[in-house]
Amino acid sequence: MKAAIYNPYWDTLGGGERYSISFAKVLVDLGYEVDIEWKDPEILKKIEKRFGLVTDNVRIVESVKRGDGYDLCFWVSDGSVPLLRSRNNILHFQVPFKNVNGNTLINRMKFFRIKSIICNSRFTKMIIDEEYAVKSVVVYPPCDISKIKPKRKQNLILFVGRFSQLLQSKRQDVLIDAFKKSVKRGLRDWRLVLLGGIEVGADEYLKFLKKKAKSYRVDFIEGADYKTLVDYYGKAKIFWSASGYGENELKNPEKVEHFGMSGVEAMAGGCVPLLYESGGHREIVDNAKNGYTWNKLSEFVRLTINLVSDSKSLHQLSKEAVKKSGNFSYEVFSEKIKEVLR
């Protein structure tokens, strides 16, 4: 059996690309030979370095011809609806596209060729179902939690997310502001670690962030490999995210966190998450049980100071965070995908 995978965003190597390569892994486990369309033949090596995922029985080709001649085609949408030609077509939305004229006659005709529409969160599904007048299914992204374990903890606050400003800003600038305010409120002997990819459009924003963080204990880890990522997940105590801060999630849903895979991975490492309350973040954290969501910067700082000051609460939340991360394992993902394929 042969399968085709198309994703227009491989050069970013973010959460959506982990989703796609994990889908490929499920197919390989089911006996498929998998072709990925991409212009760079070295992308599999980059995927393995970034995500720690072995890509045996997967090859890079110039074109998958919209699935023509394949038994299955998995296509990541850029907002458009392709005319797919494999025997079994699956369209995936990792971005909650809005106001793209999704419910046109031509799109409705194309949907006849598509067996399943998959979204990465209930938030994305809500937007997509309305925009395209469809009924999609939710399959949460697979987080490789089996390889991420709590280690000897250090006074580190971690954020993981690309440094580019493309489509969705991860708002590392807000995290730096929060760290400065926390220091002024008495945070001592802690470091903020900002770790992320630098593949596309990151240079100017990084310069801005480094200037903003000057004289504070802020570390920038650029283009880290998977081993480094796992190490920081294990030794950090707290995970911060301000992705989507300042955006109206209903007017501009593409600009907030569609799910938040790095938050789940951090939880697997025993980090207590403090996530901005928007988009898919609400589907990750059970507030005050295994972490917190926040709305205002002052609340964000207060929650941080309270956690740092209460080691018992921090430890309990950490244990619960590890438990909750199990809901988003590769094994759960694999079973859900197999259900869709059946």
Residue 28 CB neighbour total at 10 angstroms: 17
- In degrees, rounded to 5, the angle at the alpha carbon of residue 120 between the alpha carbons of residues 42 and 10 is 15
For the structural domain made of 145-327, what CATH number should be given?
3.40.50.2000
Q: Which amino acid is at 287?
A: N
In the beta sheet, which residues pair with residue 75?
6, 91
pLDDT, tens digit (0-9, with 9 covering 90-100), for 121-139: 999 999 999 999 999 999 9
Can you tell me the distance from the alpha carbon of 113 to that of 116, in angstroms, rounded to the nearest whole number?
A: 9
pLDDT-based confidence at 164, cuts 50/70/90?
confident
Query: Do 2-139 and 145-327 fold alike per CATH?
Result: yes
228: left (phi over 0), alpha (psi -120 to 50) or beta: alpha
Q: Which pLDDT score is estimated for 166?
A: 65
Asked whether the predicted pLDDT for residue 224 surpasses 90, the reply is: no
Strand partners, 66: none
User: What is the model's pLDDT at position 167?
Assistant: 65
Q: What share of the chain is helix, strand, coil (3-state, %, to 5)?
A: 40, 20, 40
Residue-wise pLDDT for 300-341, tens only, equals 999 999 999 999 999 999 999 999 999 999 999 999 999 999
pLDDT at 157: 98
Within a 10 A sphere around the Cβ of 216, how many other Cβ atoms?
12
Q: Taking each helix axis from N to C terminus, what angle separates 203-212 and 172-184, rounded to the nearest 10 degrees?
A: 10
Angle between helices 330-341 and 15-29 (to 10 degrees): 60
Domain 2-139 in CATH 1.10.287? The answer is no
Residue 282's pLDDT is what? 95
- Kindly list the domain boundaries of the chain, sorted by start residue: 2-139, 145-327
pLDDT of 201 higher than 70: no
Give this prediction's pTM.
Answer: 0.92
Query: 41-69: per-residue pLDDT in tens?
Result: 999 999 988 888 877 889 999 999 999 99
CA distance 36 to 142: 19
Match 């370095």 to its residue by tokens. Answer: 49
